[in-house]
Structure 1
Amino acid sequence: MRRLILEEPVTRAAVWSRRIGGFALAVTLIGVFLVRQQRVEMTAGLAVFGSGLLLALGAAGLAAIAFAMIWLEGRRGLGRAVQGLVLALAVLAWPGFLAFKAVLLPKLNDVSTDIEEPPAFSRSRAALAARGGHVPVEVAPATRRRQREAYPLVAPLHLDLTPEEAFEAVRKAAQVMGWEIVEAAPPGGRIGLGRLDAVDRSLILRFPDDITVRLRPRVGGTRIDVRSASRYGAHDFGVNAARITDFLEEVSAQAEAR
């Protein structure tokens, strides 16, 4: 006599977790592509990207429900639930990392080596055209002082080079960093200041960030100040401070190589 063996059904939460997780990954990648390639308006591209994140949250939630049902009722579908969770985490890992940094770091989107008298961005026709008419707003000194504890390495660089030599080191460092140099004015004129304005872009979404470098002659050398400002968002997640310190390290390396 045959015995009929009844298997527990596959939990639907596991099935839908995998489906929605895969869809979330596809939507997120499409959103990243649209924003990076500037195929649509920024807000539209970010809306697609945000939709992918919401779908990923839903997939993670369904995976959690599936795990509970598998544990309590002995249902099948563990593999599907794990796959759905992995897909969701693949989408949420980077935003989650940024959220963690947002908790640890001060809410700043404009960082300067000179807090009291930050370098000013060029307002020339060429600079405004390169920035799409955008000029970073001035930040109150009280707001800037928040960066002191969080970014102690963001400080002026003093080189034992003439302003002209320092300017060449700055220009070369900007090229090595892959910045788009918007305008460069060698030291000279009545007060002898030099300046370099540039645009850099974020790694994943290619958001533009604006940078200006000021060179000021000093007795026996040159002082270099840098200001980096995010064009979008109220929190830069430490990107501007990291950019400044990396750039000044590269300037030092270029100066030593002379």
Structure 2
Amino acid sequence: MRRLILEEPISASAIWARRLAVFAIALAAIAVILVRTRAADATAGLSVLGAAIFLACTALLFAGAAAVTIWRLGQRGVGIAVAAVFLAVIVLAYPGFLAVQAVRLPVIKDISTDINDPPAFARSARALRGRNGFIPPEVPPEQRLEQRRAYPTVQPINIDLEPEEVYQLVLRAAAALGWQVVDQIPPGGRAGIGRVDAVDRSIIMGLPDDITVRIRPLAAQTRIDIRSASRAGRHDFGANANRIQRFSQEMQTQLDAR
């Protein structure tokens, strides 16, 4: 006579955890695609991403409940619950990093190497077209003081070259960094000041950030000041300071390659 072997049921919480985690991954991917392809604006994309984060957190709660039922009742579904946790962590990893940055850094989204006289963004017709009509707002002086405390290494660049040579190096550095130059004026005129305006995009969502570089002659050097400002949100999570640091490093690379 055959013996009937009954298998323990699979934890319903584990199944729901995986379903929610898969849905969260799909929503996060949709949010990124919508914003990067310009099919939706940043607000809509971030709203979809917020829903994905909520689902990922809920998936973790269901996975925790599954762990309890599996341990107490001997149900199956350990692998399913672990997969759900893995997928949820993928969705939550970068937002979690940004949350840490938000706590650690001040609420600033406009960084300049010159806090007393920040470079002004170009308002020419060409620059406005490149920025879709957007003009970054000016920053209150108290925010500039917060910047000095938070990012003491954000400083001007002084180079022992003529302004015209430095201007060409700035253009090459911008190209190497993948910036979209929206306006440029070579050094000249009575003050001898040059300028390069550009747009860069964030790595994951492709959100636009605005950049202006001022090239100004000194007695025996040329001074470069750079200003980088994010359009979306109130906090840049350190992105603009990092962009200025990468620009400084790329300028050194361009100097070494001369």
Using structure 2 for the length normalisation, give the TM-score: 0.95
| Shift, 1:48, TM fit | 2.2
2:184 aligned with 1:184: yes
Provide the residue aligned with 1:31 in structure 2: 31
Provide the residue aligned with 2:167 in structure 1: 167
| Shift, 1:7, TM fit | 4.0
Identity value in percent: 54
Q: Is the 8 A contact 1:186 1:195 kept in 2?
A: yes
Written as runs of structure 1 = structure 2, the 5 A alignment for 1:92-171 is 92-171=92-171
Q: Is the 8 A contact 2:59 2:85 kept in 1?
A: yes
Written as runs of structure 1 = structure 2, the 5 A alignment for 1:43-54 is 43-54=43-54
CA distance, structure 1, for counterparts of residue 101 and residue 44 of structure 2: 26
| Shift, 1:152, TM fit | 2.1
Q: Which amino acid aligns with 2:51?
A: S
Provide the residue aligned with 1:253 in structure 2: 253
* CA RMSD across the alignment: 1.5
Over 3 Å counting, the alpha-carbon distance change for 1:41 and 1:110 in structure 2 is closer
CA distance, structure 1, for counterparts of residue 41 and residue 175 of structure 2: 29
Provide the residue aligned with 1:11 in structure 2: 11
List runs of 5+ in structure 1 lacking aligned partners.
none
Secondary structure at the counterpart of residue 95 of structure 1: helix
CA distance, structure 2, for counterparts of residue 196 and residue 221 of structure 1: 18
Secondary structure at the counterpart of residue 158 of structure 1: strand
Cα deviations by residue, 1:115-166 (Å, 9 ceiling, x for unpaired): 1110000011111111111111111121111122322221000000011111
Q: Which amino acid aligns with 1:33?
A: I
Provide the residue aligned with 1:235 in structure 2: 235
Written as runs of structure 1 = structure 2, the 5 A alignment for 1:71-110 is 71-110=71-110
Q: Is the 8 A contact 2:42 2:232 kept in 1?
A: no
- Equivalenced residue count is 258
Q: Is the 8 A contact 1:214 1:224 kept in 2?
A: yes
| Shift, 1:6, TM fit | 4.5
Secondary structure at the counterpart of residue 215 of structure 2: strand
Bigger Cα displacement from structure 2, 247-256 vs 10-19: 247-256
Q: Which amino acid aligns with 1:153?
A: T
Q: Which amino acid aligns with 1:122?
A: A
CA distance, structure 2, for counterparts of residue 165 and residue 138 of structure 1: 30
Q: Is the 8 A contact 1:217 1:223 kept in 2?
A: yes
Using structure 1 for the length normalisation, give the TM-score: 0.95
| Shift, 1:174, TM fit | 0.7
Q: Is the 8 A contact 1:166 1:255 kept in 2?
A: no
CA distance, structure 2, for counterparts of residue 174 and residue 224 of structure 1: 13
CA distance, structure 1, for counterparts of residue 237 and residue 146 of structure 2: 14
CA distance, structure 2, for counterparts of residue 201 and residue 74 of structure 1: 50
List runs of 5+ in structure 2 lacking aligned partners.
none
Q: Which amino acid aligns with 2:183?
A: E
Over 3 Å counting, the alpha-carbon distance change for 1:177 and 1:58 in structure 2 is same
